């Protein structure tokens, strides 16, 4: 059909669909880093975003302050009741902390999976199409940020992890993101610690902790924390509280529905944390490998 | 009129989108997703009141920028922004370029992009939302938000784009 090929618009459309598919395929493959043009564009735009978000943050902060002022009375009442409990807890924590230190000295064990170094960062933008839950922060490679580091909110709960790092900015993938690759190894605290994987987020604002053994007994209200076993996350970052447990359709594993400790919206400041023990272990492993060769 | 006014305006809208979602109140954010399409609205109005060529070029450039900076999946917005502005300008050739008709066309363009991006994201498994949920959670709130934005900006942007296209035409 010669007429078909003469239609310029149709050819343009077809060619652009081919380019579309090629580009999507290119960006969806399992890549650990962005290409340098992408990094360059992201850093340049990141600089402008930084300029715009600074005044935006201060204006939003003003409104936040007004809102806080309205709730002061209620909050004060509630907090007063909690203060007494906290005093008791503090005493206990001090004792336990001292015990722990002494026992560690006896065992000659200095680092734990729990140790981490925090790095403060400001959110300068968020993915506005809201399909993938991602944020851009103003710290990058020059500040020592690496892929897969944990990101926590201002209240200390886990928000997500670093997806890509550029020179002066980086992308954070939130836990609420629907990416199947976005998994975090977790512990459900109880008399006996139970392991699971945080994977998914449902419509009722709950995180799904999957692959829990079917014989594990999990109660409502138990805390879920990071296990520190996979990748570079430190141990003991709060993920949330168990709300409901269901066994899966074959009865082989259970899924816990967890109310996240972090608020995935309205985030201004975050901390990027790095487990110090993992880092040292990795360095030690590298040395061992180097020595072997 | 300054040469840099148009790119600067679009860049500002582009960054404003990212800042807008950052400050969305968290109470309703999971049951109701407000997606700002400020940039797209401006691009569509440019292709309606300004020139079709400029609309498509700005669609291409800012679509690519959007893909790189925000979604990290290159191609989706790069493809759909120019397509939407092409379709909008095509539609306006048939219809009379009245401010109400232009607003409705722009809103249709936003709806087209929302549904188009949803379908593409379903194909590449970025989302597993069902169509009914998509309509309830995202589509209706988004359309209302962008309708409000269109009503606010349509008149000033119409004046601005007509002025700019006149100047470009006289060059």
**Is the Cα torsion angle B80, B85, B89, B95 positive or negative in sign?**
positive
The candidate with the shortest Cα–Cα distance to A187, out of A219, A226, A217, is A226
pLDDT (0 to 100) of residue A293: 37
Tokens of B66: 């959007």
Average pLDDT, chain A: 83
Q: End-to-end alpha-carbon separation of chain A, Å?
A: 65
In the A/B pair of chains, how many CB contacts fall below 8 A?
129
pLDDT over 90 at B146, yes or no: yes
Instruction: Name every chain A residue with its beta carbon within 8 A of the beta carbon of B65.
Output: 41, 45
Check: CB of residue A28 under 8 Å from CB of residue B124: yes
Is A52 close to B78, i.e. CB distance below 8 A? Answer: no
**Nearest-5° Cα angle at A267, A262 to A271:** 75
Q: A198 in helix, strand or coil?
A: strand
Contact between B25 and A266 using a beta-carbon 8 Å cutoff: yes
The DSSP code for A234 is: P
Nearest to B47 by CA among B32, B29, B62: B62
Angle CA(A119)–CA(A123)–CA(A127) in degrees, nearest 5? Answer: 135
Distances (CA, A) of A234 to A13, A32, A183, A205, A271: 49, 21, 15, 25, 13
Structure tokens at B170: 């006289």
A238: closest CA of chain B, how far (Å): 20
Cross-chain Cβ contact B69/A265 below 8 Å: no
Residues 6+ apart with CB under 8 A from A143: A119, A121
CB B69 to CB A56 under 8 A? no
Asked if pLDDT for residue B15 goes beyond 70, the answer is yes
All residues of chain B having their beta carbon less than 8 Å from the beta carbon of residue A180 are 125
Distance of alpha carbon A206 from alpha carbon A158, whole angstroms: 14
Indicate the residue of A124, A127, A179 with minimum beta-carbon distance to B71: A127
- Cα distance from B101 to chain A (closest Cα, Å)? 26
Q: Which of A131, A133, A178, A202 is the mutation pick for testing B, counting most B CBs within 10 A?
A: A131
How would residue B44 be classed by pLDDT, with cut points 50, 70 and 90? very high
List CB contacts (< 8 A) between A124 and chain B: 18
The residue of chain A nearest to residue B17, with distances taken between CA atoms, is A128
φ, ψ for residue A20, nearest 5 deg: -55, -50
Answer whether A164 touches B (CB < 8 Å). yes
The answer for residues whose C-beta is within 8 angstroms of residue B38's C-beta and 6 or more apart is B13, B16, B17, B20, B146, B149
Copy the structure tokens of residue A98. 């001292």
pLDDT recorded at residue B37? 93
Q: Would you give per-residue pLDDT tens digits along chain A (293 residues)?
A: 556 556 888 888 899 899 989 988 888 887 888 888 888 999 988 888 888 888 888 888 888 788 888 888 888 888 888 888 888 899 999 999 898 888 888 887 766 666 677 889 999 888 888 888 889 999 999 988 888 888 998 888 889 989 899 999 999 998 888 777 778 888 898 888 888 888 888 877 888 888 888 888 888 888 898 887 765 678 888 899 999 888 887 878 888 899 988 888 878 889 898 766 555 555 555 555 544 33
Cβ of residue A20 closer than 8 Å to a chain B Cβ: yes
Distance of CA A26 to CAs A30, A99, A271, A289, Å?
Answer: 9, 54, 31, 33
Please say whether the beta carbons of A196 and A211 come within 8 A: yes
Residue A24's H or E segment, with its range, is helix A8-28
pLDDT digits (tens, 9 = 90+) for A167-214: 999 999 988 887 777 788 888 988 888 888 888 888 778 888 888 888
Q: From CA B148, how far away is CA B168, in angstroms rounded? A: 30
Within 8 A of B127 by CB-CB distance, chain A residues are 131, 178
pLDDT, position B171: 47
The whole-angstrom separation of Cα A127 and Cα B169 is 36
- Dihedral sign of CA atoms A152, A153, A156, A160 in order: negative
Contact partners, residue B66, CB within 8 Å, separation at least 6: A129, B14, B39, B77, B78, B81
* Interface contact B26-A130, CB threshold 8 A: no
Helices (H), chain B: 5-22, 38-49, 52-66, 76-94, 99-123, 131-133, 140-170
Q: Which of A284-288, B5-9, B35-39, B53-57 has the lowest mean pLDDT?
A: A284-288
Taking contacts as CB-CB distances below 8 angstroms, the residues of chain A near B141 are none
As a whole number, mean pLDDT of residues B16-26 equals: 81
Q: What is the pLDDT of residue A113?
A: 63
Helix (H, G, I), strand (E, B) or coil at A143: helix
CB contact under 8 A, A42 and B19: no
Instruction: Give the pLDDT of residue A110.
Output: 66
Average pLDDT over residues B49-61: 89
A-chain CB neighbours of B81 within 8 Å are: none
A233 SS3 class: coil
């Amino acid at each position: 059909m010669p007429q078909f090929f003469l239609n310029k618009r149709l050819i343009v459309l077809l060619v652009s669909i081919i380019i579309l598919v090629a580009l999507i395929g290119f960006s969806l493959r399992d890549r650990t880093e962005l290409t340098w043009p992408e990094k360059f564009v992201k850093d340049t735009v990141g600089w402008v975003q930084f300029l715009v978000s600074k005044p935006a943050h201060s204006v939003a902060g003003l409104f936040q302050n007004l809102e806080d002022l309205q709730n002061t009375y209620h909050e004060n009442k509630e907090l007063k009741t909690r203060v007494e409990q906290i005093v008791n807890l503090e005493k206990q924590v001090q004792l336990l902390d001292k015990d722990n230190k002494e026992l560690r000295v006896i065992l000659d064990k200095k680092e734990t999976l729990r140790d981490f170094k925090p790095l403060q960062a400001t959110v300068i933008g968020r993915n506005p199409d809201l399909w993938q839950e991602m944020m851009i922060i103003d710290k990058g490679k020059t500040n020592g940020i690496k892929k897969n580091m944990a990101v926590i909110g201002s209240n200390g709960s886990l928000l997500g992890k670093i997806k890509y790092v550029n020179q002066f900015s980086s992308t954070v993938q939130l836990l609420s993101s629907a990416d199947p690759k976005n998994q975090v190894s977790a512990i459900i605290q109880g008399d006996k610690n139970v392991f699971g994987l945080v994977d998914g987020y449902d419509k009722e604002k709950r995180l799904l902790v999957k692959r829990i053994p079917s014989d594990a007994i999990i109660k409502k209200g138990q805390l879920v924390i990071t296990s520190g076993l996979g990748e570079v996350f430190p141990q003991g970052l709060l993920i949330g509280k168990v709300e409901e447990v269901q066994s899966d359709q074959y009865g082989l594993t259970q899924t816990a529905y967890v109310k996240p400790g972090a608020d995935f919206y309205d985030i201004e400041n975050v901390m990027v944390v790095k487990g110090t023990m993992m880092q040292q272990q990795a360095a030690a492993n590298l040395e061992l490998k180097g020595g072997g060769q | 009129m300054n040469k840099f006014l148009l790119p600067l305006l679009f860049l500002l809208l582009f960054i404003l989108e990212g800042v807008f979602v950052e400050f969305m109140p968290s109470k309703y954010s999971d049951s109701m997703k407000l997606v700002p399409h400020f940039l797209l609205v401006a691009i569509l109005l440019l292709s309606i009141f300004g020139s079709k060529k400029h609309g498509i070029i700005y669609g291409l450039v800012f679509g690519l920028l959007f893909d790189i900076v925000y979604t990290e999946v290159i191609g989706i917005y790069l493809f759909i922004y120019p397509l939407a502005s092409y379709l909008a300008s095509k539609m306006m050739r048939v219809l009379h370029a009245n401010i109400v008709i232009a607003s409705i066309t722009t809103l249709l363009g936003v709806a087209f992009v929302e549904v188009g991006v949803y379908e593409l994201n379903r194909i590449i498994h970025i989302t597993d939302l069902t169509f009914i949920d998509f309509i309830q959670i995202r589509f209706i709130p988004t359309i209302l938000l962008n309708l409000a934005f269109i009503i606010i900006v349509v008149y000033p942007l119409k004046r601005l784009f007509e002025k700019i296209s006149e100047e470009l035409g006289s060059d």
